[in-house]
Amino acid sequence: MRNYDLTPLYRSAIGFDRLAQLAEHAAANNGNSGYPPYNIELLGENRYRITMAVAGFAMDELEITSEGEKLLVKGSKTEAQTERKYLYQGIAERGFERSFQLADHVTVVGAELEHGLLNIDLVREIPEALKPRKIEIGSSRTIESKASQND
């Protein structure tokens, strides 16, 4: 695998250091096997859903952890169920650990297991102070008169 040096990007881009870190992390994450398969849906302007195919896992064998901007989903089979003797096993019931990097201000609001699919609902709630606001454009006389009124 090729390694890319992204340090020039850190020096030349202001405010994009997190983007460079994510790209670097994605390039280094070569151990991701693709199991279990998942979808990411856009449900609304600020609502998302991750759906993972976790056939064969019960609710008590799944664990979802959200810490900061990282969402971690783990599945582990109990010892009693791994002792089965299959003639053919087409359903992969091996343990897994899948992590997702969440964007700023995205939080997990719920999860449910239905028909072998784990649905994790996410919502992005941008604080009022960080939402875009319109700046009124005035003349220099307007700004000077406002400044003198405040004194």
The pLDDT of 73-77, averaged and rounded, is: 91
| Extents of the domains making up the chain | 1-30, 32-132
Over the chain, what is the mean pLDDT? Answer: 78
CA distances from 100 to 24, 34, 52, 86, 144 (A): 15, 13, 12, 33, 50
Query: Which among 43-52, 74-83, 126-135, 137-146 has the top mean pLDDT?
Result: 43-52
> Is residue 52 over pLDDT 90?
yes
Residue range 39-50, pLDDT digits in tens: 999 998 889 999
Residue range 8-37, pLDDT digits in tens: 555 444 444 555 555 555 555 544 567 899
Closest to 22 (Cα-Cα) out of 4, 37, 46 = 4
pTM of the model: 0.64
Question: Is residue 63 left, alpha or beta, with left meaning phi > 0 and alpha meaning psi from -120 to 50?
Answer: beta
Q: What is the CATH number of domain 32-132?
A: 2.60.40.790
The pLDDT of 62-86, averaged and rounded, is: 83
Q: What is the pLDDT of residue 18?
A: 54
Q: What is the pLDDT of residue 8?
A: 57
Please provide residue 115's backbone torsions phi and psi, each rounded to the nearest 5 degrees: 55, 40
Higher-scoring residue by pLDDT: 147, 45: 45
Q: What is the pLDDT of residue 25?
A: 58
